[in-house]
Structure 1
Amino acid sequence: MDFFRRLLGQRVLNYYHLATAIAANIVYGFPSRKLRVIGVTGTDGKTTTVNMIASILENAGEKVAFLSTINAKLGNKFLDTGPHTTTPSPFFLQKFLSQSVRAGLRFAVLEVTSHSLDQFRTWGIRFETAVLTNISHEHLDYHKDLASYMAAKARLFGNVEYRILNMEDSSFDFFSTHGKGELLTYGLNSKAVVWANNPSEELTETEFTAHTPRGEYKIKLHLPGKFNVYNALAAIVVGQVYKIPADKIKQGLSEIKGIAGRLEMVGERVMVDFAHTPNALEKLLEFLRPKVSGKIILIFGSAGERDKTKRPLMGAVADKYADLIILTREDNRGERVEEICEQIAAGINEKQKDKDYFIILDRREAIGAALKQAQGANDFVIISGKGHEQSLNIDGKETPWDDRRVVREILNKV
């Protein structure tokens, strides 16, 4: 597809995707019209929020299908999403929705990317509710600038009945003017429709008080970080829209015990996370820094043939919070890994190369080096960028890979 994009241009390809989406809707009979479809978009937190919403609805006895970057479920059946998920095709989406209808399901919760919106892959899906998590620096290789990126996201909100926005995100003013559906807000500010206070953050769980139009109640998440408070608040607003009782909302959120590849602990001192944007990496490190008394040892890279402008920004974030940095391969595709790492390193100004930060091109070797560096009892290793993914693109070839498995293999040899 990258070859055809270079040959024909994205605009021409988008007409192809539109034609495909129209055909898929006709073939499967516009199945979304028989469902209550909830779309979740944003830069970070989409997958977690989709899982939270689905869990709340399921606990209320609703029959639910959901589709996210890492997992998909159709009623009681989990579906394989592949080793290295990309935006589903229109035919995949319409087949999934059609299967949901045939299975007698009532709700479908979908993770919606800016690419899928810009390329008309979601054309014909009648979204009833649209949720925005946040907007930050990402996919500018494709969208070229932040305004175009937000405009693509805004397409989701055009014809929905309910618009759910993070009141404290910098994108709020822009998105609040898009669409005509009822605007519902969330945040840590009491001006929001649903808001939280008294957050208590531990390494593996979080507690807070949720304030809603139908009362306030304590929430316990088996997920860490203030960012997950925001994700939970978005899910609570959805629960409010569909009149889910407070006890079912609490239970649904509590039953999310962890999201694969999101702040996932491998042993006691190693964490694997999907953070691959400057914002996600900063939120992750900002959360962990006060909780780690030893060294934070961070391993990450940046995807090849993707947004290059974020690379030095991620280097600067790592420089600010981590004690030791190892830059390595992360799906380099057709780019040279050395050049990608040097571009990240351009943002590292407070550390000395080969002393406080290293470039180790082989990802397995980089993980092994990080684990050797974690000598102190309170040192903590973070492996970021791949998370749940089951393949690594090495010079254009997809190779089986799992950061968590590699960590376990290395630790078992020690």
Structure 2
Amino acid sequence: MEKILRFVEKFIPKQVYKFFQPLYHIFLAILGMIIYRMPSRHIYVIGVTGTKGKSSTVEFINAVLEASGKKTAILSTIRFKIGDQTRPNKYKMTMPGRLFTQKFLRRAVNSHCEYAIIEMTSEAARFFRHLGIHMDALIFTNLSPEHIESHGSFAKYKEAKLRLVKQLARSDKPARLSIANIDNEHGVSFLVYPVERNIGYSLKNVKILSETQVSSIIEYRGTRILIPLPGKFNISNALASLTLASELDIPLDTAKKGIESLSIIRGRVEKVDMGQDFTVIVDYAHTDDSLRKLYEAFSNSRKIAVLGSTGGGRDSWKRPVLGKIADEHCDEIIVTNEDPYDENPMKIITEVASGVSKHKAHIIVDRREAISYSFSLARAGDVILITGKGTDPYIMGPNNTKTEWDDATVVREELKKYLER
């Protein structure tokens, strides 16, 4: 089917394709639902949406469900998982199109998975990839400006997100749940649709007992829980999974066991340790809010930022903003390449660096060289924060050319060289 669709597309003029694009994607969604026999009707589907924290929340939910003995499937920016089988997501998109999600759900059903946890994006909603997915629950993490160029405005971006909760309301599943982070000003917008349960969660519901560079300890409903990842944003992500666990009648002690078992989430505050006397963190943070919160999680340390911004006309407004945030929170700043697409990498880098005023911005176009150089700036106890790509498998260049890439792998390779000098 994939080959047939690609073949047919070659013969459709671009302007005609653009005009009929919405109908085309709706057709594909319906076609996938029919071909794969509506698999979402036969599995408990949990959607996770928001600007940030989606992938981490998916992993927290999965850990809680697995601790309760459930067989799960995951579709996220980081990975695809069905039962014990997992593979990295190398599509450079969270929800691939062309029937992918329906096929994935059918495989999950055939493998006797009880739960499917799906990371749902505004881009996927814009292309109707959510149609035909009958959800049981939707988790909303937060909302802040992102993908403005592709959507046209923040209002349209938010509306794309709201399509998902409207889809939940149309689902014929029993006991539908809408769970939203009400610490975010847009959270209540996801709690007004006709589903069986609308539930808000907030950091006000927990007592934060301690925070370090590697973890936090909270008290939730009288129980002490170790959150094995740093930052208040990860406490919030874990709280989403605890809220869902309560609604699914999973005992709190079981949910606690699941959360505390989660040692690492690839590309999400991922620590790379090869015995060096400084800390290296790889993180996907690529919005102003996520970058600020990441830096704040390491507020007591001297910080070295390695950052850039994406090209291709994507959210160009935020480039100097990212530089300004790094300038406000970090002691050394290295601006480098990320995903230039068809733009001049130096133009993007210069726009990011324009937000840096208090410190000198070290401009190094080659991302590997930038990472290597950051080690030479580090003192014992420093924290190097390499942001923007996380687990992204490629650096995207002109005409959608792809250069294989993995930040954490490159960090290990360059750290090895550094430590052997």
TM-score computed with the length of structure 1 as normaliser: 0.91
Q: Is 1:137–1:279's contact at 8 Å kept on the other side of the alignment? A: no
Does residue 380 of structure 2 align to residue 377 of structure 1? yes
Superimposed CA distance per residue, residues 70-95 of structure 1 (whole angstroms, 9 cap, x where no aligned partner): 11211122134226444312511111
Q: What is the letter of the counterpart of residue 208 of structure 2?
A: N
Does residue 96 of structure 2 align to residue 88 of structure 1? yes
Residue 318 (structure 1) aligns with: 326
C-alpha deviation, 1:9, in angstroms: 7.6
Residue 254 (structure 2) aligns with: 248
Q: Counterparts of 2:369 and 2:411 in 1: how far apart (Å)?
A: 11
Superimposed CA distance per residue, residues 86-129 of structure 1 (whole angstroms, 9 cap, x where no aligned partner): 43125111111111111222211100011111211111000111
Q: Counterparts of 2:189 and 2:406 in 1: how far apart (Å)?
A: 38
Q: Is 1:5–1:13's contact at 8 Å kept on the other side of the alignment? A: no
Provide structure 1 residue ranges, at least 5 long, that are not aligned to the other structure: 190-194
Does residue 286 of structure 2 align to residue 279 of structure 1? no
Q: What is the letter of the counterpart of residue 164 of structure 1?
A: I
Q: Counterparts of 2:40 and 2:179 in 1: how far apart (Å)?
A: 20
SS in 1 for 2:299: helix
Indicate how the Cα distance of structure 1 residues 407 and 124 shifts in structure 2: closer, same or farther if over 3 A, else same. same
C-alpha deviation, 1:373, in angstroms: 1.4
Does residue 392 of structure 2 align to residue 389 of structure 1? yes
Moved more, 381-390 or 223-232: 381-390
Superimposed CA distance per residue, residues 105-162 of structure 1 (whole angstroms, 9 cap, x where no aligned partner): 2211100011111211111000111100011121111112111111111111123421
Superimposed CA distance per residue, residues 228-260 of structure 1 (whole angstroms, 9 cap, x where no aligned partner): 100011001110111101111001111111101
Superimposed CA distance per residue, residues 354-383 of structure 1 (whole angstroms, 9 cap, x where no aligned partner): xx2122111112112211111x22222111
Indicate how the Cα distance of structure 1 residues 79 and 146 shifts in structure 2: closer, same or farther if over 3 A, else same. same
Q: Counterparts of 2:152 and 2:186 in 1: how far apart (Å)?
A: 17
Q: What is the letter of the counterpart of residue 211 of structure 2?
A: E
SS in 2 for 1:329: coil
C-alpha deviation, 1:348, in angstroms: 2.3
Q: What is the letter of the counterpart of residue 85 of structure 2?
A: K
Q: What is the letter of the counterpart of residue 380 of structure 1?
A: V
Q: What is the letter of the counterpart of residue 416 of structure 2?
A: N
Residue 299 (structure 2) aligns with: 289
Q: What is the letter of the counterpart of residue 380 of structure 2?
A: A
Residue 106 (structure 2) aligns with: 98
Indicate how the Cα distance of structure 1 residues 168 and 89 shifts in structure 2: closer, same or farther if over 3 A, else same. same
C-alpha deviation, 1:200, in angstroms: 1.4
Q: Counterparts of 2:13 and 2:406 in 1: how far apart (Å)?
A: 29
Q: What is the letter of the counterpart of residue 241 of structure 1?
A: E
Does residue 135 of structure 2 align to residue 127 of structure 1? yes
Does residue 174 of structure 2 align to residue 163 of structure 1? no
Q: Counterparts of 1:380 and 1:73 in 2: how far apart (Å)?
A: 32
Indicate how the Cα distance of structure 1 residues 109 and 86 shifts in structure 2: closer, same or farther if over 3 A, else same. closer
Matches within 5 A, 1:111-260: 111-158=119-166, 159-160=168-169, 161-189=176-204, 195-211=205-221, 216-260=222-266
Moved more, 172-181 or 230-239: 172-181
Q: Name which of 49, 54, 60 aligns with 1:46.
A: 54
Superimposed CA distance per residue, residues 312-360 of structure 1 (whole angstroms, 9 cap, x where no aligned partner): 2211211110111111110101001111112222322333xxxx21221
SS in 2 for 1:318: helix
Once superposed, what is the RMSD of the aligned Cα atoms? 2.0
Moved more, 168-177 or 252-261: 168-177
Q: What is the letter of the counterpart of residue 360 of structure 1?
A: I
C-alpha deviation, 1:184, in angstroms: 0.6
Q: Counterparts of 2:264 and 2:145 in 1: how far apart (Å)?
A: 26
Indicate how the Cα distance of structure 1 residues 162 and 5 shifts in structure 2: closer, same or farther if over 3 A, else same. farther
Q: Counterparts of 2:346 and 2:164 in 1: how far apart (Å)?
A: 38
Aligned positions, number: 396
Percent identity, aligned pairs only, is 37
C-alpha deviation, 1:309, in angstroms: 1.5
Q: Is 1:66–1:110's contact at 8 Å kept on the other side of the alignment? A: yes
Provide structure 2 residue ranges, at least 5 long, that are not aligned to the other structure: 1-5, 170-175
C-alpha deviation, 1:52, in angstroms: 1.0
Q: Counterparts of 2:43 and 2:19 in 1: how far apart (Å)?
A: 31
Indicate how the Cα distance of structure 1 residues 240 and 258 shifts in structure 2: closer, same or farther if over 3 A, else same. same
Residue 344 (structure 1) aligns with: 352
Runs of 4+ in 1 over 4 A off after TM superposition: 3-11
Moved more, 72-81 or 328-337: 72-81
C-alpha deviation, 1:411, in angstroms: 2.2
Q: Counterparts of 1:97 and 1:179 in 2: how far apart (Å)?
A: 25
Indicate how the Cα distance of structure 1 residues 56 and 86 shifts in structure 2: closer, same or farther if over 3 A, else same. closer
Q: What is the letter of the counterpart of residue 36 of structure 2?
A: Y
Q: Is 1:154–1:178's contact at 8 Å kept on the other side of the alignment? A: no
Superimposed CA distance per residue, residues 35-80 of structure 1 (whole angstroms, 9 cap, x where no aligned partner): 1111000011100111111111111122211111111211122134
TM-score computed with the length of structure 2 as normaliser: 0.89
C-alpha deviation, 1:33, in angstroms: 0.7
Matches within 5 A, 1:12-31: 12-31=20-39
SS in 2 for 1:142: helix
